[in-house]
């Protein structure tokens, strides 16, 4: 409910009043009911997300040491196994092979 009072919106969403900065740009913040599950409770912990959560899937895909560094190098274009080994001499051939297998799975 843009510009309306804070409260229950359509389809179970919690909506907030649109805010306007001094530069005249309007921002709308929408809080979904499921957002409350992501806020830490009294114990300081959040609920564990479901395995199929898109964020969990993305984090699992880039988890592991070296993965993000390898992805950074591959964003510039294809590189051979030998090129990547020379860029990361501390990276063992086994780990590099494992990362390639994970990325193609």
Of 16-20, 27-31, 47-51, 94-98, the range with the lowest mean pLDDT is 16-20
- Is 87 strand, coil or helix? helix
The CA distance from 99 to 67, in Å, is: 7
CB of 66 closer than 8 Å to CB of 53? no
Which residues is 14 bridged to in the sheet? 8, 31
| DSSP character string of 46-103 | PPPPPTT-HHHHHHHHT-STTHHHHHHHHTTS---HHHHHHH-TTS-HHHHHHHHHHH
Q: For the segment 29-83, what is each residue's pLDDT rounded down to a tens digit? A: 655 565 666 677 777 776 777 778 888 888 887 888 888 899 899 999 999 999 9
pTM: predicted TM-score of the whole model, two decimal places? 0.47
Q: Are strands 26-27 and 19-20 parallel, antiparallel or unpaired?
A: antiparallel
Q: How many CA atoms lie within 13 A of 48 on its CB side?
A: 2
């Amino acid at each position: 409910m843009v510009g309306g009072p804070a409260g229950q919106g359509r389809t179970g969403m919690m909506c907030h009043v649109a805010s306007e900065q001094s530069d005249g740009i309007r921002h709308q913040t929408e809080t979904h009911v499921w957002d409350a599950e992501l806020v830490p409770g009294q114990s300081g912990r959040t609920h564990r997300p479901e395995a199929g959560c898109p964020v969990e899937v993305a984090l699992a895909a880039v988890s592991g040491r070296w993965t993000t560094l390898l992805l950074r190098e591959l964003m510039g274009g294809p590189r051979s196994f030998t090129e990547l080994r020379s860029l990361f001499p501390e990276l063992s051939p086994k780990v590099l092979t494992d990362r390639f297998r994970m990325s193609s799975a």
